[in-house]
Each structure stands twice: as structure tokens, then as C-alpha cells.
Amino acid sequence: MTQSRATASLGWMNAEKDHRTARGTIRALAGARAIPPLIIVLYHFSEGHHYSGVQWWDRIVTRGYLWVEFFFVLSGFILTYSYGHRMRELLTWRGYGAFLRARLIRLYPVHLFMLLLILVMVLVLRNLANDGGYTSIFDLKYHQDVSVKGFVLSLLLMNGWHTMDRLTWNGLSWFVSVEFALCLMFPAILWFSVRGGRWRGPLLVAAGLAGLLIMLATLQHGLDQTYDWGLARGLSEFLVGAGLAVLFGGVDHQRIPVWVHSAGQSMLLLLLAYSVTFTGWSHGFNDIYTVLPIMGLVFALAFDRGVVADLLKARPLQRIGDWSYAIYLGQTAWLLVIRYFANAVYPPPDTPVLGTTFFSLMWWLEPLLLVLACLGWGAALAEWVEKPASRFLRNRLGRRLDPKSIPTPS
């Protein structure tokens, strides 16, 4: 590609660079990260323990796993949006290495901390079970793998590459493994995204949606694919995000009235509510009806204007959004604590407590306490592990190819 052709192909990204610098963080997307991890927490609790029996609430919670789609699309969008004007630098070995280093600094510290914490929990809870004469939760049927193979693959971030026959150690780290794989592939995706006309955007979106539809038509359990086909799932959604970034870069932002943004965002939320209410239970082909408005929200909120975008700029949501990665990855510890208590500590379900039974008391109290614990734990992980480790590593290794003005995807 000649210099003039390269400049022309990157023109839309260069324009967006100036717009991004002037605007700073996309605060609506930063705030939007706050809600999905909490729904995912409730989903994992409900799948492992019980649903509430309140139909409208259970229909929301049972689709919790689909909010991972939001993060994969966000990842493709933000990385393409941030690195498009630096494609030529990224396509050098030095630039590629700097990019991977920046992404690992973002992803790895909390992942490693949680992996080692689960190791400690396995050792401690197995010893308690041995002393108490009962079976450890790690040796019960249907528990996650805690083998040496799984531990090594988790250390190498390869546990989500169809290398295991079930979730392993910190089961949620399959997401981190897939994110790392997408980072390895990202220069090729970015090259395709920015080399040529804006037609690449619709083509990337179509390719990603085609991948999801093929999965839905051929695999069981809908889009709830993790250790097995999580990489195909993540790649499909990442392509959609990259395509949306290309489309986003071709829009004249100043010509769109605020009411159009508000109307579009509100319509997507209504479509999301409709899909949850009227498209049946989850884990089937109808997952696509929930995923489509979730993907659309990434694009609609990226403009940082409109009534929904303004609501997401509230300080509490911004703060929780900042902790979202740690909340998501750290929840396993508390899910294991609940399972341990249910296995070895809780009294019989019909034990009288405060005028009711223990089971009835814990029916709502347990998930409420879990969400609060995950919020607090996520905040602690973010402030005392993730951020200090990232600062230390960046100070030692440098900040080259590390976007700071855009919220890094979780």
C-alpha cells in the first residue's frame, strides 16, 4: 500500500482520534459496564442454587450469561476505535509486542490473583472436609476441574481455547483466555477493518452475526459457550464490535440531534425488554433476540449523548463500571463460599429462624448478600490489586500502545 492510499484508508480513524482526544472517556460506555457483571453474578448463583420463582425476574437473570456478549462487542469496538490510527505501528513486531504487553498488564494481575486464591481455597477446604469427615465441594459431582493441567493452562491463558472438557479453577477466567486470544488476532482484524472503504464495517458485522447464527443452529445451550466454543463466540462478537467501530467512525456526530440518540437508546432498551419477556426461556436459538439489542447499545451509547447515556454517567455507575472486570472475575470466590456454607455449615432447611424457616430466610437474603459481597470484593480487587499492579508494571515496562483516554474493555 502506498503512503497516500494508507493515509486515505485511515482517514476516518484519524478524524476519530482528534474527536476522542477532545472528548476524553466515553463515559456512557464506562457506566454501562456497571450493570452486566451484577446480572452475571445473579445468573451464576441462580444456576447453582435456585431461581426466585418470580417469572419476570427469573427471565432477566437466566439471560445473565448473554451480557458477556456486551463485553466482547465492547472490546472489539474500543480496541478498533483506539488503535485504528496506529495500525502501521501495531503491524510491526515491536508494536505488536507492546500492544500485547499493554493488554496483559490490564488482564493478568486480577486473573493471577484469583487463580492463586482458588488454589488456596482448594487446599484449605479440602483439609476442612478431611478433618470434618465430609466430601469437599471440590470433589462433588459437577464441580469445576481443579487439575494440574487446568492450572497450567490457566496460567498460560489457554484454558478457554477448547483445551479442557469443562471449566477449570476460576471458571470465569475462560473469558480472559478468549480475550487474550482475540488480542493475539487483533492486528489482522484491525488491518481488515481500516484498509479500504467503510464497506468493511457492515461486512465485519455480518460476519460476526453469521458466526453466532451458525453456533445457535449447531450447538446446544444457545450462546452459553465457554471452555468449549467460547473462542468462536468471542471472535464473532469481537468482529461485530470492530465493524460497529468502523461504522461509528463514518458518522458525522455533530449532525445528529440529541433526541435521535435518546430515541434510539430507548428503542433498544424496549427491544431488550421485549426479548426477555416474550421470546421464551434462554439457552436456545432465541438468544439472538436478546443479543442484538445488547450489541446495538454499544454503538448507540458510544456517541455519549442521549437520555440513557446521560443516566449512565452517574458517579456510582462510573465507579462500579471501573470495578467491573474485578467484580466479574472475583465472583467465583464468593460463589464457592456459599457452596461451602451450604455443604458444611448451614443447618437443615426447615430449621426455625426468626419466625420462619432457614430456607425461607435465605431464599432472598443469600443472593442479596452475594451481590453486596461481590461489589465490595470487586472494589477491593480493583483498588488493591488491579490498579497498583498495573501502575507498577507500566512504570517498569512503559505505556507504549496503551490507550488511556478510552475505557479499556472488560
> pLDDT band at residue 10, thresholds of 50, 70 and 90?
very low
Domain range summary for the chain, segments of one domain joined by +: 26-397
Note the Cα 310 to chain centre separation in Å: 22
Helices and strands of the chain, counted as H and E runs = 19, 2
Q: Per-residue pLDDT tens for 23-61?
A: 357 999 999 999 999 999 999 998 888 787 788 888 888
* In the predicted structure, residue 11 carries a pLDDT above the cut 50: no
Report CA torsion sign: 138, 140, 144, 150: positive
Report CA torsion sign: 85, 395, 381, 314: negative
Answer whether 253's CB lies under 8 Å from 88's CB.
Answer: no
- Output the CA–CA distances (angstroms, integers) from residue 330 to 13, 153, 227, 244, in the order listed: 35, 19, 18, 30
Cell numbers at residue 229, please? 466454543
* In the predicted structure, residue 228 carries a pLDDT above the cut 80: yes
State how beta strands 352-353 and 356-357 pair: antiparallel
> pLDDT band at residue 9, thresholds of 50, 70 and 90?
very low
* In the predicted structure, residue 104 carries a pLDDT above the cut 60: yes
Distance between CA atoms of residues 187 and 169, nearest Å: 30
Report CA torsion sign: 261, 265, 267, 268: positive
Main-chain phi, psi angles of 323, to 5 degrees? -95, 0
* In the predicted structure, residue 324 carries a pLDDT above the cut 80: yes
Which residues does residue 353 pair with via DSSP β-bridges, in sequence order?
356
* In the predicted structure, residue 203 carries a pLDDT above the cut 60: yes
pLDDT of residue 361: 83
Q: 100 burial class (0-12, 13-18, 19+ CB within 10 angstroms)? A: middle
Main-chain phi, psi angles of 165, to 5 degrees? -100, 5
Q: Per-residue pLDDT tens for 351-409?
A: 888 878 888 888 888 999 999 999 999 999 999 999 999 999 888 887 666 654 333 33
Query: Nearest 5°: CA angle at 336, between 332 and 342?
Result: 150
C-beta neighbour count of 152 within 10 angstroms: 12
Answer whether 264's CB lies under 8 Å from 293's CB.
Answer: no
| pTM for this prediction | 0.89
C-beta neighbour count of 346 within 10 angstroms: 15
Distance between CA atoms of residues 184 and 182, nearest Å: 5
Contacts within 8 Å (CB) and 24+ apart, 38-41: 38/327, 38/371, 38/374, 38/375, 39/63, 39/64, 39/67, 40/64, 40/65, 40/67, 40/68, 40/328, 40/331, 41/327, 41/331, 41/370, 41/371, 41/374
pLDDT of residue 403: 57
Q: What is the mean pLDDT of residues 259-282?
A: 92
Nearest by Cα to 358 from 349, 367, 345: 349
Q: Per-residue pLDDT tens for 327-350?
A: 999 999 999 999 888 888 888 888
Note the Cα 66 to chain centre separation in Å: 10
pLDDT of residue 250: 82
Distance between CA atoms of residues 300 and 154, nearest Å: 35
Main-chain phi, psi angles of 63, to 5 degrees? -95, 15
What spatial distance separates the first Cα and last Cα of the chain, rounded to whole Å? 34
